[in-house]
Amino acid sequence: MGVRCSKFSFCWHLKPSVLQSSDLENGEKNPLPSFREFKWEELKIATNGFSSDNIVSEHGEKAPNVVYKGLLENEKWIAVKRFNKSAWPDSRQFLDEAKAVGNLRSERLANLVGCCFEGDERLLVAEFMPNNTLAKHLFHWEDQPMKWAMRLRVALYLAQALEYCSNKGRALYHDLNAYRVLFDQDGNPRLSCFGLMKNSRDGKSYSTNLAFTPPEYLRTGRVTSESVIYSFGTMVLDLLSGKHIPPSHALDLIRGKNFMMLMDSCLEGHFSNDDGTELVRLATRCLQYEARERPNAKSLVTSIISLHKETEVPSYVLLGIPQGNAECSQPLQLTPMGEACLRMDLTAIHEILDKAGYKDDEGIANELSFQVWTKQMQESLDSKKHGDAAFRAKDFTTAIDCYTHFVDGGTMVSPTVYARRCLSYLMSDMPNEALGDAMQALVVSPEWPTGFHLQAASLFSLGMENDAQDSLKEATNLEAKRNRN
């Protein structure tokens, strides 16, 4: 008899709202809520108390702020950026700045939907993009390198995002880099709206590696619209090379007429030299030392749009991700038993099983009371009693022997005995035997959360991570169902 084990794993990427046009003022309905002010408690609950498990990105000492994933009560997924307490001492100034960014609405942006300012706390709330960053797909890919057509699409969509922001009076973007470009549920690249906000009152906070910093920033300590174009040029180099190459080094290669040395070797044979030359030429223009010699955002769009390839192919196909990859469930709120299984804290599991006793066997015990009592049944019950004493005393070898005698007697069944022998096997470094008992417990009681919990612990012990996560989620869902009833 098989045991039900649902085949879905934990999913921590989050589902954002879907926008319908690059500029949502084109007469189409805007499905995003209008910008609003959130309560601190609301965001605390959404991020599970700003749990470290919910952190999706962090920054260093120059910009000590953290971004968390979160889930609102209306089941909308969000990204919450929590600023350092020393930033934005003036709450009114923070609110005005956030509202200005929050008025933007574009399918090229991960849009800002709200903020929070209570006491010293300053937080921004945005759509969450579930399919990771450009840095992940470009520099740290696992299954396949990013295709040429997708790299061109990233360049185009990023240029369109900058043009949109510029047209709306938000031309300044702080620290534009591959971690600021995120992918939505359809695999489309979007620019994080967080970079449109200053990290401090004076706007001087600009955390970046000096090798990639616009020349004028080193002189003045400030970001200009031309500085953003320079940073765009560094990202074009990233797309060409698949690496984060310092602009000065790249320009030396370009000036030496050896631009193929820049190109990602994974792209060989997948692009034309003309397209490569044109994109290198654009990067060179963006990286001019004199800011006034760099193109503007509109010019970037015009230059790249003619190179855009495979326009009819969906982004998720080009990116190599499943369609609907963002369909995620709510992060699990694990019970103490679930937490113990996830940590493989066998001592904690033992304490929970010992305390719970046989309450989940009550229905089975009631059925037994109507059966004819026999000497064999008495012997089985004595074996269980001795097994329980050994289990309580953490004499797991004796517990296994006694519980085995009870099980082999065949006159009675007890999911709790299987659970206790399962843990005894785990304590004795016998994970295969433990898994067998967890499955038998579920044969006897198919809707028993503890059976799934112990199945998860056994699978974790065997190194079967995905199946263990499936079992743990099943246990958590059954616990929630019981609590509702």
Q: How far is CA 62 from the centre of its chain?
A: 24
* Cβ contact 304:156 at 8 Å: yes
Where do runs of H (alpha helix) occur along 116-172?
A: 134-139, 148-167
Chain centroid offset of residue 269 CA: 34
Q: How far apart are CA 438 and CA 383, in angstroms?
A: 20
93 touches 30 (CB < 8 A): no
Q: Is 182 left (phi over 0), alpha (psi -120 to 50) or beta?
A: beta
Half-sphere exposure of 47 (CA within 13 A, CB side): 27
User: Coil, strand or helix: which one is 124?
Assistant: strand
Query: How many whole angstroms separate alpha carbon 430 and alpha carbon 421?
Result: 11
Q: Which long-range contacts (CB under 8 A, 24 or more apart) does 37-42 make?
A: 37/95, 37/114, 37/115, 37/116, 37/117, 38/114, 38/115, 38/116, 38/123, 38/125, 39/116, 39/118, 40/116, 40/118, 40/119, 40/121, 40/123, 42/72, 42/73, 42/116
Q: Which two tokens stand for residue 110?
A: 């991960």
Which candidate, 263, 283, 286, places its Cα nearest to that of 273? 263
Catalytically active residues, by annotation: 175
Which whole-number Å values give the CA distances from 383 to 358, 386, 402, 403, in the listed order? Answer: 15, 5, 5, 7
CA 83 – CA 103 distance, rounded (Å): 20
Residue 169 backbone class (left: φ over 0; alpha: ψ -120 to 50; beta: rest): left
> In this structure, which amino acid lies at residue 476?
T
Give the integer Cα–Cα distance in Å for 434 and 427.
Answer: 9
